[in-house]
C-alpha cells in the first residue's frame, strides 16, 4: 500500500467538516431575513413572531444533521477508509453530524436577547451533553442488525420471526434506557445534591413512590429551564438553568409535576415506550430487513412498519397530553397552583414561548395550563397558524438533502474523459464528490506523466477502493506495471481492461460489434514491453498497414 499525498487524504474530510460548521449559520441568516425583520424587543408579540422561525429552524436543523451524516459516511477521504459505509466511515459520519448539531445551536443564538445570549462554548458543551441521549438508543438498534434477521430458505429470503421479535424488544429497551445510561457514562448528567434529592424524595412520598433517582443536566449560560421524568426508570432530571432561575416555591411546583409522572401506570409507560421503540425498530433493523427482502417485498414491509409507528406515535402523543394535565392537577392538589403557575410564566418568559401553541403538542398551551392552575392569564390569544414556518423549513430541508445528488449528477465525469482530464478539473470534481473514482484515476495518470510513480500507484489503489470504472482502473495499472518493469502483470491488466470494455458493450446488446480502433494503449506497455498493436488485439485484427479492422461505433 502506498500513502496518498496529504491533500488527497484530508481535503474531502475537511470539506465535510467545513460544510457542517458553516451551513447552519447560512440557513439561520436566511430564516432570520425571512421571519425576523422588525422583531419586537420583548413581550408576547415577540414570542409569537419567533414561532415560524423556530418551526422552520427545527426542520432545517434535522436536515443539516442528516446531511452531515451523509457527507461523513460517503465523502470521507479515500485513503482513510476501505469504502463508504465501513466502520470508520460510519464513525466519521457520526462526528460530522455531531459538528452540524453543535453548530446549529450556536447559530440559533440569533433569537436570544443580547442580555441573555449564551456563550458559544456553553452552547456547544450543552449540545454535546445531549448527543448520547440520541446515540444510545440508535447504537442499540444498530447492534440488532448484526443478528441474522433474514435467512435464505429454498432460494427465497424469509424473516426470522423469533430473532426479529428479539430485535424489536432490544429496540424498546434501547429507547427506554440507552440514552440515559450513555449520558451517565459520558458525564452528561451529574448526581443531584443531597438537598435536591431530599426535595424530590418528599414530593415522591406524596405520590406514594419510594426510591427516586435524581440527576442534574448542566446548562451553563444556555437558558434551557426544564425538568423531565423517566417513569420506567423512576428518574427525575432537572436542568442547571432551572435550578439557577426558579425560586423555592416555583421549583417545588416543577418537581411535584415531574414526580407525578412517576406515578403513571405501567400501561402508560408501555404506550410511550412502544411508540418510541417501534419507530426506532422501523428506521434501523426494519430498514435492514427491507433491504434484505429485495425491491418487491421490502418496501411493503418498511412502509407498514412506518405507518404503524406513526399511528402509535400519534396515539402516544395524545396520551402524553392527558398525562401532562394529570401531573398539573396532582401538583395543584398537593401544593396549590401558584408556585407552578409562576414557574411556567418564568420559563415561558426566559424561553420566549407564547401563551398558545399550534398543533397537538404533548404539553397544553401555557394559557390553558395557567387557567387550570387558577392563575388568571387574561383573554386567550388567538391560536398560532399551524403551517407558518413549517412549509419553508420543509422546502429548505428537501433542498439541502437533494442538492448533493443533483450536483453529483450534473458534474459527473464520463469514463471517456479520464485520459484527458487535468489535475485541476479532477480536484474540482472532488469538491462535489470526493468519493468519485474516475477523477482519482485521472490524477494517477497525471502523476505518472510527472514521473512520480509512488504517488500514481497510491492514487490508482485509492481509485479501486472508490469504485472506479473497471476499464480505466485496469488501464492505469497496465501502464504502472509496465513502468515498474513487470510486463506480465501489465499485459494481464491490459487484458482485464479490454474484457471490462467488452463486458460493458455486450451487456446491453450481445450481438453488438466491439470497436477498438481508437482505444488508448498504455504508452509504457508499448515501448518498454515492446507490445505491438497486433500483440495487443491479436494479429487477425490488423491489416497489412497495421490498422485495426474491427467495425462498429467508435470506441471511447
Asked whether 440 and 429 are in contact (CB, 8 A), the reply is no
At 257-298, the pLDDT tens digits run 999 999 998 899 999 999 999 999 998 899 888 888 888 888
Name every residue whose Cβ is closer than 8 Å to that of residue 21 and which is 6 or more positions away in sequence: 99, 100, 103
> What are the angstrom distances between the C-alpha of 22 and each of 25, 64, 107?
6, 10, 9
Ordered by start, the domain boundaries in the chain are 148-351, 415-541
Residue 552 pLDDT greater than 50, yes or no: no
Find the helix packing angle between 453-465 and 437-449, rounded to 10°: 170
Of the candidates 394, 442, 389, the residue with the CA atom closest to the CA atom of residue 415: 442
Least confident range from 235-239, 285-289, 342-346: namely 285-289
pLDDT computed for residue 58 by the predictor: 93
At 467-506, the pLDDT tens digits run 788 888 898 998 899 888 889 998 898 888 888 877 766 6
Asked whether 258 and 208 are in contact (CB, 8 A), the reply is no
Looking at the DSSP assignment, which residues form a beta bridge with residue 237?
A: 215, 228
At 383-415, the pLDDT tens digits run 887 778 888 889 998 888 887 777 767 767 676
Q: Pick the most confident of 239-253, 292-306, 402-416, 540-554.
A: 239-253
Phi, psi of 109 (to 5 degrees): -65, -10
Least confident range from 307-311, 351-355, 416-420: namely 416-420
Classify residue 528 as exposed, middle or buried by CB count within 10 Å of its CB (0-12, 13-18, 19+).
middle
Asked whether 537 and 499 are in contact (CB, 8 A), the reply is no
Asked whether 79 and 3 are in contact (CB, 8 A), the reply is yes
Look over the chain and give the mean of its residue pLDDT values, rounded to a whole number. 84
CA 151 from centroid of its chain's CA atoms: 29
pLDDT computed for residue 7 by the predictor: 58
Rounded to the nearest 5 percent, the helix, strand and coil shares of the chain are 65, 5, 30
Tell me the three cell numbers of residue 207. 405520590
Find the helix packing angle between 266-283 and 161-173, rounded to 10°: 120
Phi, psi of 53 (to 5 degrees): -60, -45
Place of cell 418568559: 349
pLDDT computed for residue 541 by the predictor: 44
pLDDT computed for residue 556 by the predictor: 31
Residue 551 pLDDT greater than 50, yes or no: no
Rounded average pLDDT over 327-335: 95
β-pairing, 213-217 with 190-191? Answer: antiparallel
What is d(CA 401, CA 404) in angstroms, rounded to the nearest whole number? 7
Q: pLDDT-derived band of residue 126, with 50, 70 and 90 as boundaries?
A: very high
Residue 538 pLDDT greater than 80, yes or no: no
Name every residue whose Cβ is closer than 8 Å to that of residue 342 and which is 6 or more positions away in sequence: 247, 249, 250, 253, 375
Pinpoint the alpha helices (H) of 284-422. Answer: 285-293, 298-335, 338-351, 366-372, 390-410
Element (H, E) at 502: helix 487-508
Rounded average pLDDT over 372-385: 89
Of the candidates 122, 120, 101, the residue with the CA atom closest to the CA atom of residue 20: 101
Architecture of domain 415-541: Alpha Horseshoe (1.25)
| Torsion sign, CA atoms 316, 322, 327, 330 | negative
Name every residue whose Cβ is closer than 8 Å to that of residue 364 and which is 6 or more positions away in sequence: 321, 324, 325, 372
> What are the angstrom distances between the C-alpha of 200 and each of 153, 327, 354?
56, 15, 29
Pinpoint the alpha helices (H) of 36-110. Answer: 44-74, 87-107
Q: What is the DSSP string of 202-227?
A: HHHHHTT----EEEEE--TT-----E
Tell me the three cell numbers of residue 485. 518493469
Asked whether 258 and 236 are in contact (CB, 8 A), the reply is yes
Tell me the three cell numbers of residue 284. 434501523
Around 508, how many Cα atoms within 13 Å sit in the side-chain half-sphere? 5
User: In 3-state terms, what secondary structure has residue 384?
Assistant: coil
Amino acid at each position: 500500500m502506498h500513502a496518498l499525498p496529504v491533500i488527497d487524504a484530508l481535503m474531502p474530510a475537511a470539506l465535510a467538516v467545513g460544510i457542517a460548521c458553516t451551513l447552519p449559520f447560512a440557513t439561520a441568516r436566511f430564516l432570520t431575513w425571512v421571519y425576523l425583520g422588525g422583531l419586537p424587543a420583548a413581550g408576547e408579540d415577540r414570542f409569537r413572531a419567533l414561532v415560524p422561525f423556530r418551526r422552520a429552524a427545527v426542520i432545517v436543523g434535522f436536515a443539516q444533521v442528516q446531511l452531515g451524516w451523509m457527507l461523513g459516511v460517503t465523502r470521507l477521504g479515500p485513503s482513510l477508509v476501505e469504502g463508504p459505509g465501513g466502520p470508520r466511515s460510519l464513525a466519521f459520519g457520526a462526528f460530522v453530524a455531531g459538528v452540524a448539531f453543535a453548530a446549529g445551536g450556536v447559530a440559533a443564538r440569533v433569537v436570544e436577547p443580547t442580555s441573555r445570549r449564551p456563550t458559544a462554548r456553553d452552547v456547544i458543551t450543552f449540545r454535546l451533553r445531549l448527543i448520547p441521549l440520541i446515540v444510545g438508543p440508535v447504537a442499540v438498534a444498530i447492534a440488532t442488525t448484526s443478528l441474522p434477521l433474514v435467512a435464505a430458505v429454498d432460494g427465497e429470503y424469509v424473516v426470522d420471526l423469533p430473532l426479529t421479535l428479539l430485535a424489536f424488544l432490544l429496540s424498546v429497551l434501547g429507547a427506554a434506557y440507552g440514552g440515559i445510561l450513555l449520558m451517565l457514562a459520558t458525564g452528561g448528567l451529574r448526581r443531584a445534591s443531597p438537598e435536591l434529592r431530599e426535595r424530590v424524595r418528599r414530593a415522591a412520598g406524596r405520590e406514594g413512590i419510594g426510591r427516586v433517582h435524581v440527576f442534574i443536566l448542566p446548562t451553563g449560560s444556555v437558558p434551557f429551564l426544564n425538568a423531565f421524568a423517566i417513569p420506567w426508570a423512576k428518574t427525575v432530571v432537572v436542568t442547571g438553568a432551572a435550578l439557577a432561575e426558579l425560586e423555592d416555591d416555583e421549583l417545588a411546583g416543577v418537581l411535584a409535576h415531574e414526580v407525578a409522572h412517576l406515578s403513571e401506570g405501567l400501561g402508560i409507560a408501555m404506550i410511550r415506550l412502544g411508540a418510541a421503540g417501534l419507530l426506532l425498530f422501523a428506521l434501523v433493523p426494519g430498514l435492514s430487513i427491507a433491504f434484505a427482502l429485495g425491491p418487491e417485498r421490502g418496501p411493503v414491509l418498511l412502509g407498514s412498519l412506518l405507518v404503524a409507528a406513526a399511528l402509535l406515535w400519534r396515539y402516544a402523543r395524545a396520551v402524553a397530553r392527558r398525562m401532562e394535565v394529570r401531573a398539573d392537577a396532582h401538583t395543584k392538589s398537593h401544593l396549590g397552583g401558584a408556585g407552578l403557575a409562576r414557574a411556567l410564566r418564568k420559563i415561558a418568559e426566559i424561553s420566549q414561548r407564547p401563551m398558545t401553541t399550534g398543533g397537538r403538542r404533548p404539553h397544553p398551551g401555557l394559557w390553558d395550563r395557567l387557567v387550570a392552575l387558577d392563575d388568571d392569564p387574561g383573554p386567550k390569544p388567538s391560536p398560532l397558524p399551524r403551517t407558518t414556518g413549517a412549509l419553508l423549513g420543509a422546502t429548505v430541508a428537501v433542498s439541502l438533502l437533494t442538492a448533493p445528488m443533483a450536483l453529483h449528477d450534473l458534474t459527473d465525469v464520463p469514463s471517456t474523459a479520464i485520459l484527458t482530464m487535468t489535475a485541476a478539473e479532477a480536484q474540482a470534481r472532488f469538491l462535489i464528490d470526493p468519493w468519485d473514482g474516475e477523477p482519482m484515476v485521472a490524477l494517477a495518470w497525471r502523476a505518472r506523466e510527472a514521473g512520480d510513480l509512488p504517488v500514481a500507484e497510491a492514487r490508482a489503489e485509492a481509485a479501486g477502493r472508490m469504485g472506479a470504472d473497471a476499464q480505466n482502473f485496469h488501464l492505469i495499472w497496465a501502464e504502472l506495471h509496465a513502468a515498474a518493469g513487470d510486463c506480465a502483470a501489465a499485459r494481464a491488466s491490459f487484458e482485464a481492461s479490454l474484457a471490462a470494455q467488452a463486458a460493458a458493450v455486450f451487456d446491453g446488446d450481445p450481438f453488438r460489434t466491439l470497436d477498438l480502433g481508437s482505444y488508448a494503449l498504455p504508452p509504457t506497455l508499448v515501448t518498454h514491453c515492446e507490445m505491438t498493436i497486433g500483440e495487443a488485439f491479436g494479429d487477425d485484427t490488423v491489416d497489412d498497414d497495421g490498422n485495426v479492422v474491427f467495425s462498429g461505433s467508435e470506441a471511447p
